[in-house]
Amino acid sequence: MTTQYHADIDLDVRGLSCPLPVIRTRKAVDELGSGKILNVITSDLTSTNEYHALANSLGLELLDSNINKDEGVLAIWLRKP
């Protein structure tokens, strides 16, 4: 996976079942400072909608989301305003 963003926090939630990945993402967002970027790596390739909803509810900017089918992971990049 390549991206043009530099994460201030990397959160690996591969192998966790819903709702744990979103809960852990919320906790990581709480630790972020303004303007900082969180990169979430999850093995739940169908959770894009949950992360969009989380970003909207928290006022986060969803910078990017991409699936790497070879690795079986979804990467989500979020920026805290």
Residues with catalytic roles:
18
CA distance 63 to 65: 7
The residues facing 73 across adjacent strands are 68
Handedness of CA 22, 76, 62, 37 (dihedral sign): positive
